[in-house]
Chains A and B, each alone.
Chain A
Amino acid sequence: MHGYANPARFLKIARPVTGWLLGAGLLLVLAGALGGLLVTPPDYLQGETVRILYIHVPAAWLGMAGWASIAAASISQLIWRHPLAAVAGRAVAPVGATFAALCLATGSIWGRPTWGTWWEWDGRLTSMLILLFLYLGYIALASAEQERGGEGRMTALFGVVGAINLPIIHYSVLWWRTLHQGQSISIAGGSTIAPELLWPLPLTMIGFTAVFAAVTLMRMRADLARLKVEARLRRSAAE
């Protein structure tokens, strides 16, 4: 695993993989979205709005998975000083922030006809909003440290500390009385959602995850190319 932290080796793999991941991801998202919009029946309680689930759940998963990746990259940067760790953290942040914002927005759109309100300051919604603010803080800090020519250690520390919010988001529906429903799907305990409503969800989950990975690879490739140009400019200035 540590061998892939070498930028040249990473690029050799990332270049062919980016397009395939993006294409496969978009196809899966399209299949899941069409299935969710046109094939699945309306829910007996929520009616048609249940279809928002097929984009809201992947957005929530990726908002949280994005920060988990930032925390892992940050630990790797702080302990092993991997050259790709800071690049990976910076690349993931805007993508994770987009999905966290999408989770909040689609949840709000679902909440209006279902709960009768666009927003409620309950545990799950508030901790997810905090995650979005953490992303924005991380992006600002990373950009400031990069401009100053720093190694990004403060940003990495922020990435690790911010991970405290992840279990709070996950357990918020158990710890506090929230308007948000409890866990409907678990890896160990199966699902409380009817199979005829559930099947498009794995398609959009895997599809959006592949799109997330492809976009992260694009941003890492862009960052590495920029760093290469900067290094060349510094070398020519020194000669």
Chain B
Amino acid sequence: MNQWAFVLAAYALAAIATLCLIGWSWAGMRSAEADADAARRKR
């Protein structure tokens, strides 16, 4: 059993999960703040 395969799988999973979480939250924040700015300007 190659132990490095398990190590790399764990690191890859952590990297993908962390980057997806950051990307999802960043996009949500940018879009919500842009909507709030647009609503303020419209008023």
Contacts and interface: CB of A to CB of B under 8 A. Distances in A.
Interface of A: 22, 29, 33, 37, 47-49, 51-52, 55-56, 59, 94-95, 98, 101-102, 105-106, 109-110, 112-113, 208, 211, 214-215, 218-219, 221-223, 225-226, 228-229, 232-233, 236
Contacts, number: 92
18 contacts: A29-B18, A48-B7, A49-B3, A49-B7, A52-B11, A98-B21, A105-B10, A110-B6, A113-B3, A214-B22, A215-B21, A218-B26, A219-B28, A221-B29, A222-B28, A225-B36, A229-B36, A236-B43
B7 A218 contact: no
A95 B22 CA distance: 9
Contacts of A225: 29, 32-33, 35-36
A218 B39 contact: no
A51 B7 contact: yes
A219 B36 contact: no
B4 A222 contact: no
Interface of B: 1, 3-4, 6-7, 9-11, 13-14, 17-18, 21-22, 25-26, 28-29, 31-33, 35-36, 39-40, 43
Contacts of A214: 22
Contacts of A221: 29, 32-33
- Among A214, A215, A219, A222, the most chain B Cβ lie within 10 Å of the Cβ of A222
B13 A106 contact: yes
